Amino acid sequence: MNRGHSGVPRATVVAIGLLAGVPASSSAAVRYVKWDATGANNGTSWANAYTSLQTGLTAAVSGDEIWVAAGTYKPAGVNGPRTATFQLKTGVGVYGGFTGTETSRNQRNSDPATNGTTLSGDLKGNDQPNFVGMTENSYHVVTASSTTATAILDGSTIRGGNANGLGFNSAGGGLYVSLGSTRITNCRFTGNLAFFGGGLFIDTGAPPLTNCAFDSNTAVNGGGAVYLYNSTAPPFSGCMFIANTARYGAGLEADNSTPLLTGCTIISNTASVAGGGMDSFNGA
C-alpha cells in the first residue's frame, strides 16, 4: 500500500528558495497595503497604501514590515497563472488585521476569525462550496522557501489554494514551506485543497506555528490540514485542527517527521482509510 509522498522535485524547491532572500535595508520601513486606497499607492502611508500585497512583497527588503488592512488579496489577477503565489521573504513580516488608521502594530485585531484580512487563491472569484470552481486557483496561496524565523506571517486567513498539479504543485494548497523556519502566527487555513497537505505542507523544515486554526481543508491523499515530510520537531502551539478530510491523517500526517504539539485541539476530522486526527509512518 503506497501512501507516501509523491516526490517533490528538489530542483524546483531550490529554485523557488532563491527568491526568499532579500538584501538588508539601512532604514527599515513599514509598507502599507489597503485594497481600496486611492492616493499615490506607493506604500508609504495608509492614504498612499499599495492596493496589492504582491506589490508590497516585491518592494520589501529585510527589516521591513508589511501592514495589511482588511480585505481580500490575491497573488495574481483574474487571468493570472496558477503558479502565482505570495512568496514570503526572510527579514520581512506580513501582518494582517488592520482597519487602515493604525499607527502601531499592537492596535490591530490579530484574530483572523474577525479581522477580515484574507489571502485567497481564488483568482477568478468563482469558488463555490465543496471545492467547486477551483480549477483555475493558485496551486499555493503562500510559499516560504529557505526562510528563517524572521520571515513572519501573522493575522490572516488563507483560503482557496488548490495544489492538484504534479510534484511541488501537488502539495500545500494554503501554504507550502520548504527548508525553513518561517513563523506562522494567528492564521486560519480554510477551504484549501491538495493531494498532500490541503492547508499546509512542510518539507524538511521546522516553522513554528502559534494560535493557528485549520478547518475545512481537504487532501486527496494525506494530511487534510497539515502534511509534514522529513521534518524534525516543527512546533505547533495552541493550534486547532477541525473538520478536515483526507484518506490518511485528516488532521495531521507525519511522514518521517516528529511534530511537537502543545495545547492543540484536534476534533471532527475524517479520514477515509486511517488516522482521522493524526497519522504517522515511515519511522515517525
pLDDT tens digits, 228-280: 999 988 999 999 999 999 999 999 999 999 999 999 999 999 999 999 999 99
Residues recorded for the chain:
284
If residue 14 lies in a helix (H) or strand (E), which one and from where to where?
A: helix 10-17
- Please give the pLDDT value at position 36: 98
- Please give the pLDDT value at position 27: 62
Query: 81 pLDDT exceeds 60?
Result: yes
- Please give the pLDDT value at position 283: 58
Average pLDDT over residues 131-146: 96
Query: 20 pLDDT exceeds 60?
Result: no
Closest CA to 154 of 183, 115, 197: 183
Query: 11 pLDDT exceeds 60?
Result: no
C-alpha cell at 75: 497573488
Coil, strand or helix at 57: helix
| Phi, psi dihedral angles at 129 (to 5 degrees) | -55, 155
Greater confidence (164 vs 282) lies with 164
The reported pTM is 0.91
Coil, strand or helix at 18: coil
- Please give the pLDDT value at position 4: 52
**What is the 3-class SS of 192-236, one letter each residue?**
CEEEECCCEEEECCCCCEECCEEECCEEEEECCCEEEECCEEEEE
- Please give the pLDDT value at position 232: 85
pLDDT tens digits, 183-226: 999 999 999 999 999 999 999 989 999 999 999 999 999 999 99
Query: 6 pLDDT exceeds 60?
Result: no
- Specify the residue for cell string 490591530: 108
Q: β-strands 226-229, 258-262: how paired?
A: unpaired
pLDDT tens digits, 85-116: 999 999 999 999 999 999 999 999 999 999 99
C-alpha cell at 84: 502565482
- pLDDT bucket at 8, cuts 50 / 70 / 90: very low
- Please give the pLDDT value at position 233: 85
pLDDT tens digits, 38-53: 999 999 999 999 999 9
Average model confidence (pLDDT) across the chain: 91
Domain boundaries, the chain: 10-23+73-281
- Please give the pLDDT value at position 12: 41
Query: 71 pLDDT exceeds 60?
Result: yes
